[in-house]
Amino acid sequence: MILATSFAYFLLVSIGVVLFVFPGYRSRVVTTLWLVISNGWAPLANLAQRFGRFLQLMYSGGEHRLGGYGRFIAAHPLLVGSALLMIVAPSLLAVLLRGPAVFDFADDAGITDRQIAVLLEGEQLVPPPPLPPDVFTTREVEQVRPDVVHASRNWNLMDQEFTQRLLVVFKLMKERHGYEMVLIEGYRSPERQAKLLEQGGHVTQVGANMSYHQHGLAADSAFFRDGKVVISERDPWAMRGYELYGQVAEQVGLTWGGRWKMQDYGHVELRRKGVLGRPAQ
């Protein structure tokens, strides 16, 4: 679809450039378009061959071999340059403005790790017992997530498939890397999402029903060490844990927020088409 749209734009702009820059060829362009409409694509193919020969002459012979073309270009460099800029502008903009997206809703990669596949297909894992509420009210946690006291950590409110994948991540993080994970926030109501949006773009950039949290398909997690929740990435140990957490999460088919433009290292989600934007069930 994108390729077809780009080609259509290029064709339309090219025709417009010829009509604007080369008024002597207006009648030929109009005639060619009429022939294309009347007789199919054969006249257009013939025109493409002529254009190819024109480019070959320009590349190999210079102005003296192009005759009137070369003289026109030499006499009107600004006009010709502007016409060329119109043609290449979309490509230039795409290159200059591209960058990591805040949210990327592409399909996730397939699962290649055999151990992970066995865990996902095997016995259902059980969520860990809840931690005492006071471990989420420490100074460190409140500095990073001052609203965490209102967050839901009820595993039963999350999607079952997502829950199993997240539990596999928790299990592998402990067995492979020695990190004990803790759920900071799972399901988030649309009302809470709207309040977070009111706090500014540094908290969230999406409103109600536009986050996978509202559909039980997202979670924010941190680490549990020596009886305390370690959440800040300023801790080198925690930052290394987030990197490993992202790798394992992606291996089980989850999307990791650490790759976003507005990085959210503790966030993972299970993307499904057609979910965002509709009211949560």
| Total domains, the chain | 2
Least confident of 83-97, 221-235, 260-274: 83-97
User: Binning pLDDT at 50, 70 and 90, where does residue 111 land?
Assistant: low
Instruction: Provide mean pLDDT across the span 271-279.
Output: 84
Are residues 219 and 173 both part of a single domain? yes
Q: Quote the CA–CA distance of 48 and 214 in Å, as a whole number.
A: 53
Are residues 16 and 72 both part of a single domain? yes
Are residues 130 and 8 both part of a single domain? no
User: Binning pLDDT at 50, 70 and 90, where does residue 91 land?
Assistant: low
Nearest to 29 by CA among 88, 57, 20: 20
Give 160 or 281, the one with higher predicted confidence: 160
Domain that holds residue 11: 2-97
In a domain, 275, yes or no: no
Are residues 154 and 237 both part of a single domain? yes
pLDDT over 70 (residue 112): no
In a domain, 233, yes or no: yes
Q: Which spans in the chain are helix H?
A: 2-21, 26-39, 42-61, 63-66, 68-75, 77-97, 114-121, 139-144, 160-177, 190-198, 236-251
Q: What pLDDT was estimated at residue 152?
A: 95
Are residues 91 and 129 both part of a single domain? no
Give 122 or 273, the one with higher predicted confidence: 273
- The model carries a pTM of 0.59
In a domain, 106, yes or no: no
Q: What pLDDT was estimated at residue 275?
A: 86
Q: What pLDDT was estimated at residue 100?
A: 42
Nearest to 185 by CA among 228, 217, 224, 225: 217
Q: pLDDT per residue over 10-55, tens digit each?
A: 666 666 666 565 666 666 666 666 666 666 555 555 655 665 565 5
Output DSSP code: residue 255. Answer: E
Instruction: Provide mean pLDDT across the span 226-234.
Output: 94
In a domain, 8, yes or no: yes
Are residues 118 and 23 both part of a single domain? no
pLDDT over 50 (residue 63): no
Are residues 129 and 230 both part of a single domain? yes
Most confident of 55-59, 72-76, 159-163: 159-163
Are residues 61 and 167 both part of a single domain? no
In a domain, 281, yes or no: no
Residue count of the chain: 281
Q: What pLDDT was estimated at residue 6?
A: 57
Are residues 45 and 162 both part of a single domain? no
Q: What pLDDT was estimated at residue 14?
A: 66
What's the CATH code of the domain at 194? Answer: 3.30.1380.10
